[in-house]
Amino acid sequence: MTQTELPPAVPTVVADTPVPEQDSLRDIVDCHHLTPAMEWLDNHAPHVIADELARMDAVTAGMAFRLLDKDRALAVFEELEPVDQQQILSGLRDQSFRDLVEGMDPDDRARMLREVPAKVAKRVLGGLSPHERRMTATLLGYPEGSVGFYMTPEVVALPRNLPVGEALHMVRAKGSTAETVYTLPVVDAGRRLIGVVELRDLVLGSPDTMIAELIAGEPVSARATGSAEKAARLMQGANLINLPVVDSEDRLVGLLTIDDAVEVIEAADSEDMARQAGTSPWSGHYMAAGVFQLARYRALWLMLLLVAATLTVTVTNFFEPTLEQAAHLALFIPLLIGSGGNAGAQAATTCVRALAVGEVRVSDLLAVIWRECRVGLLLGCMLAAVGMVIGTLFVGVKIAVVVGIALVIICGWAATIGGTMPLLAKKLRIDPAVISAPMVTTLVDATGLVIYFTTAKVVLGI
Amino acid sequence: MTQTELPPAVPTVVADTPVPEQDSLRDIVDCHHLTPAMEWLDNHAPHVIADELARMDAVTAGMAFRLLDKDRALAVFEELEPVDQQQILSGLRDQSFRDLVEGMDPDDRARMLREVPAKVAKRVLGGLSPHERRMTATLLGYPEGSVGFYMTPEVVALPRNLPVGEALHMVRAKGSTAETVYTLPVVDAGRRLIGVVELRDLVLGSPDTMIAELIAGEPVSARATGSAEKAARLMQGANLINLPVVDSEDRLVGLLTIDDAVEVIEAADSEDMARQAGTSPWSGHYMAAGVFQLARYRALWLMLLLVAATLTVTVTNFFEPTLEQAAHLALFIPLLIGSGGNAGAQAATTCVRALAVGEVRVSDLLAVIWRECRVGLLLGCMLAAVGMVIGTLFVGVKIAVVVGIALVIICGWAATIGGTMPLLAKKLRIDPAVISAPMVTTLVDATGLVIYFTTAKVVLGI
């Protein structure tokens, strides 16, 4: 995607003006009113149109897409997710197809090619010039989630011993096809990265200054085979708008631009959030997904958690004699395991996030255990005060004391487990976000019951 | 923060090379080894140093900070969170204090000023030149979370009837103090925004072209008093690196830069995640927060949820006769309410995220209800198959049938509630992220028990 594109002929979009919801593109196209549809398309920015297309079924979306003129069609197409791009492509004639695919940035094209069926991919590659084909093929060589997968290979690299004036000429000569010219990597004769200069420094500097003098220290860079999320968070931390990408021999191979970095970070955050709720991460559009598709992404975890919950049946079954002697204990089962689950989920989510943004490291394990244990016990004491009042009101002081003591222990235990599991996962090289709140909750449910019934046996002497 | 800064004299940081954990700055400073500490500071990038300082207590962090030379101190200081900046400031002498504060970008300074005590704020404003003081005061006028709060007021604006060559001269003359010169707003005589040109177009274009010809359509902009998150997501959607900010009369007042937009989006995501786990959002550093502070952010929700859980006690109490006649029903309480809670949490998190990124709108309410209801029933049927096997193994077919039927109804109900509540919240103009998974879980717990016991009464005829 062109990082700096501005939609042509679009009215001022002020971010706090709500889009009027009633006349969506879908409604207009559904009614087969072509003139209002074309007016709508003329009056909205490419990303807004792409968003509307993603919400529509394939046939309607294809119909609406063909109403766009050539230049705007490309801008809209680049904003679509690969799965939606494929739907649009499959409905196009050869000439429009070629125009669209040839106009895309190589990195966006490569990303699309990975998700389309082999037949479509062949048609796409066949329509490219040899130069574009080579560049796309290079990007296809990097695994999904790697920096190389997201980078743009079209970079203007400068030699170090060049005056600023000549460097600007070089940017003018070579810059028109590059996705960005704001960050200009400086390389040696072997194309090894030795520094970075900003276009800003060239423009503001004197024409006779040598490029080498503008280089500020050694460059920050990422390896093409490295993790795209790590590289993106590095850009975020260091406030970089472009990050040079190098191969294993430190040779420049591309640039990771901020718009792709933001996309990577947002995808990672969405994934973390999905995982935290115990659903498999997916990249589709909610409103465009079918019911079976939505169910499929949730079924696995729900089923695993159900099987794990069998443990709670086993525990309750084991303590049935206790439960028979004090039937009122059953009243507080949901309240106790609920509170434990909540305390555990809070700790887990906090620690998963702290790990993701780099505030906590694996080496902090002991410190986190000690911290969460105290936080949990503290919260447990507060809950116990309220829990004992509730218990006394419903069934009397004795069981209320059991509920109170159990709340303190369960909260301390739940927070410790919740805070520790993401760190242990990371230590075992599992994505800590896999430690979902429901997973912690289910684990805490069973152990919480053990704590509750054992406390009851001790306090009530049964 | 300077968007394009590069740390001076820092070795290549390749994103996939892990930082060696053993020699953290804290350990080195704690041992009072000054030479290795200074070496460490020389060898790390400002954002890495800032990260280490944030993990340390105030005294040690202040000690380490004073070891930095003037230029690097500013770069590190700008990377710190306001709360950490304040700790550092309070330990500095007047001259270093003035140097540091005068060197900051006005938007970062304004953000810090909001969080420091009045005494420190007065000291900060007193140390500024009249020009810097005026600019800071302007930013302080915008409410937290607004675009104005995050924008940079130092912008190079161009008149429309200027040739590219002269525009470049203007950028050279005025650009050195601006945070970015990559996006150049074009304004009329009344400073009203009429378009945007990119520095790239000036550099690549011919010097005689008029600025007006380079303007691509009407500008995309955000109002200074509007929501910063909305503006940031607009930039993300339209792939903009800078967004012009206007007042209520469309007059240019600043630029929202991509680094601040990324910060806004990440803060919003962190907040959504915290809320999803039922903790109050906060911006502090996990490892630097005290135990009481951590507990404070979780206590409110945990307490509210405990009080809400009293409903489960009431429901179980009401159905106690049923429970007495079939004591085995108690065995499956945790499993049933657990599954319902999980199904509800999955739906809630999916919908909160879909709302946040704009895939779902309030007008989709009925469609979401219909979708989630079917997804929930589908998942419920799958769980029921397994649940009936578990039930039969433990207590026999009759109760197993009750468990199976209850699972189907509870899952359908939980998914519907979980998916609907965030949309209803948005309709009532409450932040949908407030509908946390624990809130849905607690609500589903009580209603799930009603469904379970009612099913039992009907099926078992008691």
Domains of chain A are: 25-143 (1.25.60.10), 158-276 (3.10.580.10), 290-460 (1.10.357.20)
With CB atoms and an 8 Å threshold, state whether B12 touches A181: no
- For the segment B57-61, the average pLDDT, to the nearest whole number, is 79
Residue A206 touches chain B, beta carbons under 8 Å: no
Question: In chain B, what residues touch A302 (CB-CB under 8 Å)?
Answer: 339, 342-343, 346, 379, 382-383
- For the segment B417-444, the average pLDDT, to the nearest whole number, is 84
pLDDT at B405: 96
- In this prediction, residue B139 has a pLDDT band, given cuts at 50, 70 and 90, of confident
With CB atoms and an 8 Å threshold, state whether B225 touches A16: yes
Q: How far is A33 from chain B (nearest CA, A)?
A: 22
pLDDT at B7: 42
pLDDT at B157: 92
**Residues B116-149: b if buried by 16+ CB within 10 A, e if exposed:** beeebbebbbebbeeebbebbebbbebeeebbbb
Residue among B77, B286, B382, B453 with most chain A CBs within 10 A, to mutate: B286
pLDDT in tens, B313-355: 999 999 999 988 888 899 999 999 999 998 998 888 888 888 8
pLDDT at B20: 43
- For the segment B14-34, the average pLDDT, to the nearest whole number, is 61
Residue among A346, A355, A388, A395 with most chain B CBs within 10 A, to mutate: A346
pLDDT at B23: 64
Given a cut of 90, is residue A413 above it in pLDDT? yes
> Among A251-260, A403-412, B115-124, B378-387, where is mean pLDDT lowest?
B115-124
Cα A73 off chain centre by: 27
pLDDT at A282: 66
Counting DSSP H helices and E strands in chain A, the numbers are: 22, 7
Given a cut of 50, is residue A18 above it in pLDDT? no
pLDDT in tens, B234-255: 998 888 999 999 998 899 999 9
Output the CA–CA distances (angstroms, integers) from residue A439 to B198, B270, B413, in the order listed. 49, 20, 21
Residue B166 touches chain A, beta carbons under 8 Å: no
- Surface-to-core class of residue B109, CB atoms within 10 Å of its CB (0-12 exposed, 13-18 middle, 19+ buried): buried
- In this prediction, residue B118 has a pLDDT band, given cuts at 50, 70 and 90, of confident
> Among A237-246, B2-11, B418-427, where is mean pLDDT lowest?
B2-11
pLDDT at A4: 42
Given a cut of 60, is residue B8 above it in pLDDT? no
Give the separation between CA A195 and CA B314, rounded to whole angstroms.
68
Mean per-residue pLDDT over chain B, rounded: 84
Give the separation between CA A428 and CA A373, rounded to whole angstroms.
22
Q: Across the strands, what pairs with B196?
A: B185
Name the percent of chain B lying above pLDDT 70.
94
With CB atoms and an 8 Å threshold, state whether B375 touches A204: no
Given a cut of 90, is residue B52 above it in pLDDT? no
Could you give phi then psi for residue B59, rounded to 5 degrees?
-65, -50
Q: Which residue has the higher pLDDT, A345 or A129?
A: A345
Q: Across the strands, what pairs with B186?
A: B158, B195
Q: Which residue has the higher pLDDT, A349 or B319?
A: B319
Question: In chain B, what residues touch A335 (CB-CB under 8 Å)?
Answer: 306, 309-310, 312-313
> Among A15-29, A207-221, A388-402, where is mean pLDDT lowest?
A15-29
pLDDT in tens, A263-292: 899 888 888 877 777 777 766 678 777 888
Given a cut of 60, is residue A6 above it in pLDDT? no
- For the segment A365-371, the average pLDDT, to the nearest whole number, is 92
Closest CB to A278 among B301, B333, B345: B345
Q: Which residue has the higher pLDDT, B108 or B225?
A: B225
pLDDT at A184: 93
Name the percent of chain B lying above pLDDT 90.
33
φ/ψ region of B461 (left if φ > 0, alpha if ψ in -120 to 50, else beta) reads left
- In this prediction, residue A124 has a pLDDT band, given cuts at 50, 70 and 90, of confident
pLDDT in tens, A156-215: 999 988 999 999 999 988 887 788 899 999 999 889 999 999 999 899 888 899 998 898
pLDDT at B16: 45
Q: Across the strands, what pairs with A246?
A: A223, A252
